[in-house]
Amino acid sequence: MSNWEREKIGIIPVKNLWLLMLYASDCRYLAEHLADSEASQHDALELVGKVLCDLLESRMRRELSKSFINRKDELNRVRGRVDALQSERKMSLYRGKVFCHFEEVSADTARNRYTLNALQKLQKLTKNKNLLISSKAISQQLKQLGISDIQIVGYSPTSERFGRHENEDRKIIQLAELIHSMMLISESMGSKLLPKPEKQEQWVRKLFEKAVAGFYKLALPKQGWKVSSNKQLRWQVEQESTLIPSLLPTMELDIQLDHHQLKQRIVIDTKFTNIVTKGRFDNTTFKSGYIYQLYTYIMSQKKEQDLLSLASSGMLLHPSVGDHYDEVVTIQGHQLRFCTVDLMAKPSEITKRLENLIL
């Protein structure tokens, strides 16, 4: 067993959390890599790191993106705004110089520093020799181009604004952000920075939900499926009293899959809890509240003008750690399926399981 297979967050192998983070990210262009049978055998970190290095090598064949940055320095001539106080303190004028605040075009931007920081973190995370050599070589090239490796504080990739010609830069920053997040997960092992997943249900549940939706958005459209996530559902209200609009809770569906040619609709509700519970008489049962919720999602949306809604099926999808469920029941003409995905399995087995649940 390798070191990475032994390293876990709570009870889940860290490599599998990285896999979920990859599918939950905005790196949709990785679809072509993930679709490749050889690439699918790689772990998420290796895939992300390799694509980042390839993109950076391509980017550095041209000039790196630059922008105006604020600088302050002692100069031989006036440039920008003179700082009289600093000039006096440093006795600049007596030496024929002046202290100035000015702007200059530079590649040493927050964007490029953030990317260099990500490469350095990749080097701490990876166990792949070739990836380590490649990332170190690119890091050295970036430093030679004037990029500082000072840690970025307060930089937010989501605040970046990319021009139409900066699509490659957008991809690089998305991958860099993913590596920063992977490093944060890794640093939390054995510490109190991140509680065990079972005690951090909301965080891991959203990660699992986004990862499943992200995987299906990559894998299913080429099979004719339309994938929607976090879809707002409306109650089919016929009459209502004054306060109903403000008091009636809204419904949000995790994932909806539509295939018009097959005349199929599958609504998926993801949960990061055990799929079964102990009943009153110590018997094991599926959780009734989740079944009621899924049943409501299906029955509340039925309408004659939406043909797919009339025979839609539902799926409760839970992660598991070693156990396995895949049970089906038909109630009032609608199939309900209760499934698990084993997060203790190999990454390739997890993706294959998600695919086989639909195709």
Q: Is the pTM of this model over 0.75?
A: yes
On the question of pLDDT at 257 being above 90, the answer is yes
Task: Identify the CATH class of 197-358.
Answer: alpha beta
pLDDT at 27: 77
**Which residue intervals of 25-166 are DSSP H helices?**
31-35, 44-60, 84-89, 110-125, 129-144
CA dist 276 to 204, 213, 282, 319, Å?
Answer: 19, 23, 12, 12
If you average pLDDT over every residue of the chain, what do you get? 84
d(CA 334, CA 222): 26
Q: Tell me: the pLDDT tens digits for 58-69? A: 888 887 887 777
pLDDT one-digit tens code per residue, 191-233: 444 444 444 556 777 888 899 999 999 889 989 999 999 999 9
The DSSP line for 144-171 is HTT---PPPSS--GGG----TT-HHHHH
SS3 32: helix
Query: Using one digit for the tens of pLDDT, what is the confidence trace for 263-314?
Result: 999 999 998 778 888 777 678 888 899 999 999 999 999 999 999 999 999 9
Q: Where are the chain's structural domains?
A: 3-64+109-187, 67-106, 197-358
